[in-house]
Structure 1
Amino acid sequence: MHPPVLDFTPTLPIRDQAALKRGLAEGDVATLLMVLAQYQPDTPLLAACAPYIGSIFEPEKKVPEALADEIRQTLFTLLTQDPPPQATDLDDDTLARLLSVEVGEPVGAEFVPMLKEQMGFDTPEQRSERPGRQAPDDNFKVLVVGAGLTGLLAAIKLDEAGYNFQVIEKNPEVGGTWWENTYPGCAVDTPSHFYSYSFELNPNWSHYTPNGPEFQRYLLAVADKYDLRRHVVFETHVLGFEWDEATNEWEVTLSDAKGERKVRANAVINAHGPVNRWSLPNIPGLDAFAGPVMHTAGWDSSVDLKGKRVAMIGTAASGVQLGAAIAPEVGELTVFQRSRHWVMPNHLQAVPEAVRWAQQHIPGYKEWFRFRAYWFAADGLYENIRIDPNWECEDGASVSAYNEGVRQYCLQNYHAKLKDRPDLLEKLVPDYPVFGKRICMDINWLDTLCRDNVRLEDNTLDHVEEKAIVLKDGSRIEVDVILCATGFDISDMTGGLQIIGRDGRNLKEEWGEDDPRAYLGVTVPGFPNFFLTVGPNSAPNHAGGQNITSETQVHYIMECLEALQANNAAALEPTLEATEAFNAHVDETLKGLIWSHPKAKSYYKNKSGRVFLSSPYKLVDYWGMTREPDLADYRLIKGKARAVA
């Protein structure tokens, strides 16, 4: 399949009335109501429908068909009339009111500025057109590590702002993790219409949660549209960085097929991401197994699984996707569960053709639908992770009334699908609160475990022999192939790179094995002009939203670079005091959130129990914190950039 076409501009009046009727009939009613409100912000249908609009956890709530039909009929008349109607310029108060109706709960005014950007209503700012802006020095060179979701975004923004930059990518194509991961069933577990760039909404997703190849095609389309490959050096590894205080430059060591070489850059944006450093699990005897052994991120498509006896180790995000995809074709599938994971019901599958048409042709539909997806997959879930100190729950299975409601929502799915398998129910249901660690999407996973050719082993694996896996009780399971859905090394945020900053400071030594800290998750004292993405305590683990975090962090990095130009400075780094104050606030806030729960054992925590990965803030709060650098929290190094090789 070819990459999607991203440029769809709806026009009025809509001439294809039959297609419009189908789109209105199958479209999301709450979203259609918002489209209508663009033209009639005071329509009485808002008040009439509001009591019937709820969250995904309230499936019993449904707009009565008579009201839904009135919305459809009114919209049909408006969208086909000639001359076409003019959409109302919604003020912030009106927008907040409409947003609250669309999701059936209050949406505060603080969300409006971010949502106008993220819904695609605001035209993205062009830094190159800012009045009085000092353009970047041609000698100032920026190096970006990685051409995945975040690295491509950085390239777009650097190019638009006129910076001299280059992207270093170890793979032969852009896409990062979505290029690398090709295992069967690979998918995104954030809703399609949310997981994209705010300035490049894709109205043509085939599924509400896209598979990996489809999202990779989206990134390819973005790379094509912005002509990004001309900035990328492919099949080249970054080995490390060293700050040269005499010249205020980073000396960067690269490696490719021809060997090692050095290049220089004034600033580095490390966008290599945390989910590309995989390794096989440390299981005794695994290296002696005679058959194929594959990690999901190192998939070998030449291995034929049809009819084979397959062992799969791991039942987290990649495991539930892989297992459900291969179970129908393998002879036997033995699943080894190392720890339990909550799975969330996933009722959304293929996007009907009529709804895809609506996304493309009905003005505002894709923008309003994106908000609904964002709310129920991200900040609308934030209360779910907040610990209510007055909440009493036996065995600590939940942390608040809201969290208990989500738990019951998930349990209904377990009980419905496993009603005839109490043995599986006993093995699968976790004892920690929902969202205590990464949640998984139930895309046929529980049904898969009920298949006759599938067997679930709960923490019984002892060691591996040449042709079998041996359990703790001594019994042997003969297998032909071992698949490892065992995740990534997240805690080493240096990614194996040697990073030497000012005064010879070694970032790996300062962070230790698994205790990284940074200012706003982006900058680090002693490492001038070194910018992290998905850095310490910046991951949006309360739900989805890495796309927003990437946009937020790249925006902040760009504003730091702009501050250098405006202040005739060569470099900046955060002060130790500002960094310590930020991290103290992070640690204190985390105490009141679900990841600090004693039963929540996850890769979000380091060995000492500190939550080092998760951001304790809503996406909207982090967005607000990163609009521009507070230069009082930074040390500016004066000087001009010189030409670098």
Structure 2
Amino acid sequence: MSAPLPSTVRHLIVGAGFAGLCAAIKLQEDGETDFLVVEKGLDVGGTWRDNTYPGATCDVPSQLYSYSFASNPEWSSSYSPQPEIQAYIRDVAERSGTLDRFRFATRFEDAAWDDAAQVWRSRITGPDGERTVESRTLVVGAGSLSEPRLPEIAGIETFGGDLFHSARWDHDVDLAGKRVAVIGTGASAIQIVPELQQLLESTGGHLDVYQRTAPWVIPRNDRRYGSLERRALRRLPLLRKAYRTGVYWAHEGYVPAFTVEPRLAAPAKQAALANIRKGIKDPALRERVTPYFEIGCKRILRSNTWYPALAADTTELVTDPIAAVTPGGIVTADGTERPVDAIVVATGFHTTDLPFAEHVTGTAGRTLADVWRESGMAAYKGSTVPGFPNLFVLVGPNTGQGHTSMVFIIEAQVAYLRGALRAMREHGWGAVEPRVPPFRRWNSNLQRRMRRTVWTTGGCESWYLDEHGRNTTLWPKSTVTFRRQLARFDADAYTTTPATPIRTDRQEQPA
């Protein structure tokens, strides 16, 4: 049984995925040991704990998908499957010595800033009921791919078969021999569909794949690491570092094609078109799976099995819009109803309307969601927001990546958080809050830079864009630039307030 929730801590961290765990480890390194991590799930891992669908694999090379301070020589292949990534995160957590301050099956309900006391008061619900926890800082590492987005389709609530989102896979449902529909053709779907196609083909079932927009899919150059290679990586840390560095710079080379000149992506486009020709022989089907927008406008996907799965006799690619769901099937706009026994919804996540924002109330009595609805989702350096002192968002607005690992971004943001806490400690500040002019300059420069990117000019609609057509999701420069701009906590961009005493459950400490 875990220890009861404390009533006060210096730092409250929400989420135990890559971001929350990184924050906990690095705070401990700095001597900031009075923290609490609350996690609604039963284990660390976040996205990689929750996404257990068939074929779940990272589409970023394994060597990049780990902390720089905890490299992993045990990856089995160049693109690691979900169980290995989850095992890696759990292993890092267990070796970190921080798990005694993690509380699982514990949900962050909401938080409000008390300006006089200089604390966040958070309502937390755990196995022992509800409790209010006061903290000097609130660090949100909930992630942008944590809350599934369900499609708004007429009649979907009337469906009589099995229906679940790809991120909430129901392993109790046996799909063998059934008629299954997959709605969506994004990053999760291209991994799920080949697995389902093989299962259904071998058991007499049938698969319908509902496509709104054809994605660009390049070959997945995956390979298993041999025993000799793994032994060398295990015994030679410098080799691991060199390997990781080489993969990092190879991927960083994609940035100009996204942010400066889309024509630089011509080799990737040719590889994607060759992938279509190799996987599909039917000219009509080839045409339906060929994207109409510039490559890179939406996330580039990787698969060697997607197109063969669509071309299989037991699969039908449906490109007519869905009009409604009935108790026994799906009706498209042309009036055709296709009977199905189960529906897998692979329609992504809430990325431009982060759900946690509804539950965080700042100095003016408004939630973060209220502010973002009015002016668009934005943060200073992807991390802090005026009107919300001592709130640090990890994987916040405009920090997403279309070419490399988010772990790099997380480490840069945690370094910025550490700098802020160090400054608060050294100067006796109880609160730091970004000033409006630097906040506006930062985001104006971002959006100005965004106009020339392929995400804006590429001719597609994507989950990168909010309801106003602004890209509030991705970072429009190199990750090197991001890390450099967050390397130092720039206190001159903040309003700082001297500390009032805060009492913790453990000891009386100065701010």
TM-score category of the 2 structures, normalised to the smaller one: over 0.9
* 1:161 aligned partner: 30
Report how many residues are paired: 493
Greater than 6 Å deviation, 4+ residue runs: none
CA contact (8 A) 1:570 1:639 kept: yes
Q: 2:247 aligns with which of 369, 373, 386?
A: 373
CA contact (8 A) 2:19 2:395 kept: no
Distance 2:366 2:153 in 1: 36
User: Matched residues in 2 for 1:513 and 1:273: separation?
Assistant: 22
1:530 positional shift? 0.3
Q: Counterparts in 2 of 1:483-498, with a 5 A limit? A: 483-495=344-356, 497-498=358-359
Q: 2:270 aligns with which of 387, 408, 412?
A: 408
Find the partner of 1:558 among 403, 406, 418.
418
Percentage of pairs with the same residue: 33
Find the counterpart in structure 1 of residue 4 from structure 2.
none
Shift of 1:493: 2.4
- The residue type paired with residue 574 of structure 1 is P
Aligned to 2:496: 636
Instruction: Point out the structure with max Rg over C-alpha.
Output: 1
Indicate conservation of the 8 Å contact 1:537/1:615, yes or no: yes
1:540 paired with 2:414, answer no
Match of 2:275, as an amino acid? N
- Contact kept, 8 Å, 1:238 with 1:497, in 2: the verdict is no
**Cross-structure match for 2:150:** 280
Structure 1 match to 2:258:
385
Aligned to 2:362: 501
For residues 156 and 443 of structure 1, the distance between their equivalents in structure 2, rounded to whole angstroms, comes to 37
Which residue identity is paired with 1:405?
Answer: P
Deviation at 1:631, TM superposition (A): 1.4
Q: Deviations along 1:473-528, whole A, 9 cap, x unmatched?
A: 22221111111111111111252542111232432111107821111010111111
| In 2: Cα distance, 1:503 partner to 1:455 partner | 53
Structure 2 Cα separation of the partners of residues 595 and 254 of structure 1: 38
Alpha-carbon distance in 2 for matches of 1:351, 1:458 = 39
1:247 paired residue number: 117
| Secondary structure at 1:627 match in 2 | coil
Alignment of 1:160-179 (within 5 A): 160-163=29-32, 164-179=34-49
- Does 2:231 match 1:357? yes
Q: CA deviation at 1:380?
A: 1.3
Structure 1 residues 304, 213: CA separation in 2 closer, same or farther (over 3 Å shift)? same
Rounded to whole Å, the distance in 2 between the matches of 1:181 and 1:387 is: 34
Alpha carbons of 1:160 and 1:440: their partners in 2 closer, same or farther (altered >3 Å)? same
Q: Which residue of 2 aligns with 1:54?
A: none
**2:64 alignment partner, SS class:** coil
Cα shift readout 1:160-208 (whole Å, capped 9, x = no counterpart): 1111101010011111111111111111110001110001111110121
Counterpart in the other structure of 2:305: 444
Matching of residues 154-553 of structure 1 within 5 Å: 154-163=23-32, 164-330=34-200, 331-362=205-236, 364-377=238-251, 379-388=252-261, 399-400=262-263, 402-418=264-280, 420-495=281-356, 497-512=358-373, 515-541=376-402, 543-553=403-413
> Deviations along 1:409-468, whole A, 9 cap, x unmatched?
2212222222x1212211111111111111211141112112221111113422211112
1:600 maps to 460
**Cα distance in 2 between the residues matched to 1:641 and 1:412:** 65
Query: Residues 422 and 474 (structure 1 numbering): CA distance in 2 closer, same or farther, change over 3 Å?
Result: same
Cα distance, 1:259 vs structure 2: 3.6
In 2, the alpha carbon distance for the partners of 1:469 and 1:628 equals 54
Partner in structure 1 of residue 435 of structure 2: 575
- Structure 2 distance, partners of 1:513, 1:192, is 39
Contact 1:494–1:507 (CA under 8 A) maintained in structure 2: no
**Cα drift, residue 405 of structure 1:** 2.6
Q: Which amino acid aligns with 2:447?
A: D
> In 2, are the aligned partners of 1:140 and 1:642 still within 8 Å (CA)?
no
Residue number among 470, 492, 495 corresponding to 1:610 in the alignment: 470
AA at the equivalent of 1:141: R
For 2:17, the equivalent position in structure 1 comes to: 148
* Contact kept in structure 2, 1:568 and 1:640, CA below 8 Å: no
Aligned partner letter, 1:142: H
- Closer, same or farther in 2 for the Cα pair 1:494/1:578, shift >3 Å? farther
Q: Shift in Å at residue 376 of structure 1?
A: 2.7
Greater relative CO, 1 or 2 (CA 8 Å, sep 6+): 2
The two structures, once aligned, show a CA RMSD in angstroms of: 1.6
Cα deviation, 1:276-335, whole Å, max 9, x if unaligned, reads 111421111211111100101111101001111111101100001111112111211110
Give distance in 1, aligned partners of 2:274 and 2:259: 23
- 1:95-174 alignment runs, 5 A limit: 141-163=10-32, 164-174=34-44
Structure whose residues are more often strand by fraction: 2
Q: Is the 8 A contact 1:143 1:165 kept in 2?
A: yes
Q: Distance in 1 between matches of 2:410 and 2:249?
A: 18
Residue 508 of structure 2 corresponds to none
CA–CA distance in structure 2, aligned partners of residues 143 and 362 of structure 1: 37
Tell me by how many angstroms 1:363 deviates: 5.3
Residue aligned with 1:503, SS:
coil
Partner AA of 2:279 in structure 1: K
Relative distance call for 1:140 and 1:223 in structure 2 (3 A) is closer
Offset at 1:258? 4.2
Residue by residue, what CA displacement relative to the aligned partner does 1:555-602 show, whole Å, maximum 9, x if unpaired? 100110000011111110110011011111111111121111151311
Q: Structure 2-normalised TM-score?
A: 0.93
Tell me the distance in 2 between the aligned counterparts of 1:215 and 1:200: 13
Whether the 8 Å CA contact 1:519–1:574 is kept in 2: the answer is yes
Matched residue, 1:79: none
Q: Secondary structure in 2 aligned to 1:549?
A: helix
Instruction: Give the 3-state SS of the residue equivalent to 1:430 in structure 2.
Output: coil
Residue segments in structure 2 that go unaligned for 5+ positions in a row: 1-7, 506-511
- Gaps (5+ residues) in structure 1? 1-138, 389-398
Q: Which residue of 2 aligns with 1:30?
A: none
How far the C-alpha of 1:225 sits from its partner, in A, is 0.8
Q: Distance in 1 between matches of 2:67 and 2:433?
A: 28
**Distance 1:405-1:513 versus aligned 2 partners, 3 A rule:** farther
Partners of 1:514 and 1:229 in 2: how far apart? Answer: 38
Quote the offset at 1:257 in angstroms: 4.2
Corresponding letter in the other structure for 2:495: R
Question: Secondary structure, in 3 states, of the residue corresponding to 2:502?
Answer: coil
Given residue 472 of structure 1, which amino acid in structure 2 is its aligned partner?
A
- Would you say the 8 A contact 1:277–1:489 is kept in 2? yes
SS at match of 1:272: coil
Instruction: State the distance in 1 between where 2:189 and 2:472 align.
Output: 24
Q: TM-score, normalised by structure 1?
A: 0.74
Give the CA deviation at 1:357. 2.2
**1:221 Cα deviation after fit:** 0.6
